[in-house]
Structure formats: C-alpha cells, structure tokens
Chain A
Amino acid sequence: MTERVAVGEAILGANERLAAANRQALDQAGVFSLNLMASPGAGKTSLIERTLQALNRSLRLGVIDGDIATSLDADRAAAAGAAAVQINTGGECHLDAVMIQTALERLDLGSLDLLIVENVGNLVCPASFALGTHKNVLIASVPEGADKPHKYPGMYRGIEALVLNKTDLLPYVDFDQAFFQQGVQALNPGVVTFALSCRTGEGLSAWLGWIEAEVRQFQRTHPRPAPPRR
C-alpha cells in the first residue's frame, strides 16, 4: 500500500540556493560579476583578453576560467592584468554554483572591481545552472549561423546581454541578421546587444563602455567595505 506525497520542488533548487549565497558574497565585497557563456569557438577567450587589456588600467580585474581546453591560463590572464583562477571541471559540461563558491575562496575579493567568469563552451547546460553572477552574457558569433536563438531558446532567454562576435566575417558567410534578431527579440525582447569583432576591434568600445557603466552603477548601490586600518 503506497501513498502519494506532494513535493513541488525545483530539482536544481540546491544549486540556486548556493548561487544566491555567491551573489551575496560578491555584493558584500562590492565586486560586479559577469558569466560569459558561448558555444565552443565563439570567441569567449578572445573577448576576455581584449576586455582585460582595455580595462586593466581603470578597473581591478579577476577571471574564473572554467574552460579547461582554453589557452587563457592563469599566466595569460595575469599578463593581461587580472587575478585568475582556473577551475578544473573534469569534463563537466557547465559550471555550477559549487565550483564558483570554491573559486571565490581562492580570490581576494576585496582587491577586485570586476570578476569575469568564463563558462564551459556549450549552449545548453550552462543555461540551467545559476552561478550567482550579476549578469549573464552570451557570446554568439556570425559563423555559427542565424538559427541559434531558435535552436537554443533556453540559453537566449536567460541572458542580460548579447554579444555578436566576428562581424568582420559578415561579407563572407550567409548570416541572416533579420532572422537572428527575430529569434532574439522573441525570446528576450530588448536585450542589450553588441555587434563586434575581436579581430578588428570594431564595435568593442560599446561593449567596454557598457561594462564600465555597469560596474560604476553597481558600485554606487554596493559600496565596498572600508579597508582595514593599518
């Protein structure tokens, strides 16, 4: 004889609770954070490198690198002026809130303004796992094709900013910009979008300006704790 027990619980609730704790730790330290997601080869690493090089004089930067296959290792990020932590995902398809919690413990949050998390290259799984970062950013790229919003709605729905990289290739590939935009607008109306090319640098200034404005706005609402007196 069995009886039915109502549960009604989100299956990834534990991850979401931990993500909320990560968010709180970042808020308290006054560190603004981005979660960069993309398919493999869209240009996450290039965009991060470009961003670090451009912003390392105005902001103190940190990177959590969850892509074990990337060549942006701690040395290269450090050369671009960032404190970097590499997460060994052991072949996992996404980062989760536990991995970020562990990585945060290895960073001196008090000495950072901006933390960039490089998620695992994948358009499916990272969309399901909140990390606690302030903004989710998707990097799409022209050669992937214009149908990607339609094929990966979960990813395109859950982002606060969209980068369309490799615009220098537009003359050489069939990329239906109208169809791409229709999909984006259907899933995420009005999402802030940056069309740029990491290779030529075209369009990068708008992206960098957005990050700086977001950091400044965040810092106004999340004043960092006073440094300890010596």
Chain B
Amino acid sequence: MHELSVTQSLLEIALRHGQAAGAQRVTDLYLVIGEWSSIVDDSVQFYWDIVAEGTPAEGAQLHFERIPARAACGDCGHEYSPTEASLLCPGCGSSRIRLLTGDQFQLESIAIEPVTQPGTRMESE
C-alpha cells in the first residue's frame, strides 16, 4: 500500500503541468497503468480526494486506463497474455518471452480550465 505517496506525486505533476499551461483549474487526469504495476485504482481515488483538497485540482476526475500485460514469445513469435498460473508461452512452452505492454505507470494528460483572458471574460456563472 503506497498509494498515498503515489497520489502526492500525481498531484505535484498535475499541478506543475496545469500551471505551465495557464490553468485556473485542473478538471481531469488521464492515467495509463499497466496490469503489472501494482496500483489499486480505488485507493488512489480515495487519497486523491484528500490530497487535492484546497488545490486547483480539487474535485478533478481521475480516469484510469488499464493496459493488460501482453508478451511475445522469443521462440515461436506467439503473442499472448501471461497469467499468474504461467508466464510461459502457451504455444510452445518457451520461457524466452518479452513483455510488450503492462508495466506503464504514467500521467498521460490532464484537462484544464484556462484562466479567462481579461477583456474576453465570460460571465457564465
């Protein structure tokens, strides 16, 4: 369980990029998380609501894109999803495998509300 420190990192990155882009508010975070990167979505969401409170990212929606683990066999070229029961190639039984996807752990993008420009301010509330 290290989702608290992960969530704090996430907030720091989102605020830094939001500020650089002139955001008034960060409204959404789009995360890409590989199946093998041991992060529990619900825990990140739980901590997010706490750590983001009082920041320009308060209330932002977290979107988790889960990338399944996929591997390629180095012997027969077969592509498959390795499982807990066996990592080996189901085609030929080889252990010469290469992980193609599944270990990502990135903040891919954010959505922001830009600061309204003076003179073009919209009274939309």
Asked if A226 lies at the interface with its beta carbon under 8 angstroms from chain B, I say: no
Check A2/B9 contact, CB under 8 A, given A10-B105, A11-B105, A125-B2. Answer: no
A210 to chain B, nearest CB (A): 23
Contact present for A154 and B103 (CB under 8 Å): yes
Asked if A183 lies at the interface with its beta carbon under 8 angstroms from chain B, I say: yes
Asked if B46 lies at the interface with its beta carbon under 8 angstroms from chain A, I say: no
B114 to chain A, nearest CB (A): 6
Contact present for B82 and A153 (CB under 8 Å): yes
Asked if B117 lies at the interface with its beta carbon under 8 angstroms from chain A, I say: no
A147 to chain B, nearest CB (A): 8
Say what secondary structure dominates the interface of chain B. Answer: mixed
Contact present for B17 and A149 (CB under 8 Å): no
On chain B, the residues within 8 Å of A25 by CB distance are none
Tell me the number of A-to-B contacts counted with CB atoms below 8 Å. Answer: 108
In residues 1-58 of chain B, which contact A (Cβ within 8 Å)?
1-2, 5-6, 9-10, 12-14, 17-18, 21, 23, 27-28, 31, 36-38
Nearest A-chain residue to B14, judged by Cβ = A7
Check A154/B36 contact, CB under 8 A, given A9-B106, A10-B105, A182-B95. Answer: yes
Asked if A164 lies at the interface with its beta carbon under 8 angstroms from chain B, I say: no
Contact present for A5 and B97 (CB under 8 Å): no
Contact present for A12 and B105 (CB under 8 Å): yes
Check A7/B95 contact, CB under 8 A, given A128-B37, A150-B84, A151-B84. Answer: no
Asked if B87 lies at the interface with its beta carbon under 8 angstroms from chain A, I say: yes
On chain A, the residues within 8 Å of B99 by CB distance are 157
Asked if A144 lies at the interface with its beta carbon under 8 angstroms from chain B, I say: no
On chain A, the residues within 8 Å of B108 by CB distance are 6-8
Contact present for B106 and A11 (CB under 8 Å): yes
Categorize the interface residue count of chain B.
35 or more
- Cα separation A151 to B73 with both chains bound (whole Å): 19
Contact present for B110 and A150 (CB under 8 Å): no
A91 to chain B, nearest CB (A): 9
Contact present for A150 and B9 (CB under 8 Å): no
On chain A, the residues within 8 Å of B112 by CB distance are 2-3, 5
A102 to chain B, nearest CB (A): 15
- Cα separation A94 to B6 with both chains bound (whole Å): 12
B59 to chain A, nearest CB (A): 13
- Please provide the 4 A-B residue pairs with the shortest distance between their CB atoms, ordered closest to farther: A186-B95, A185-B95, A186-B87, A2-B111
Identify the B interface with A (CB < 8 A): 1-2, 5-6, 9-10, 12-14, 17-18, 21, 23, 27-28, 31, 36-38, 69, 82-88, 95-97, 99, 103, 105-114
Identify the A interface with B (CB < 8 A): 1-15, 92-94, 96, 124-125, 127-129, 147, 149-151, 153-154, 157, 182-183, 185-187, 189
**Further 7 A-B residue pairs, CB within 8 A, beyond A3-B111, A8-B108:** A5-B112, A8-B106, A9-B107, A10-B106, A13-B13, A182-B95, A186-B87
19 A-B contacts (beta carbon < 8 Å)? A2-B113, A3-B111, A3-B114, A4-B110, A6-B108, A6-B109, A7-B13, A7-B110, A8-B108, A13-B13, A15-B9, A93-B1, A94-B2, A147-B84, A150-B83, A150-B86, A157-B99, A182-B86, A182-B95
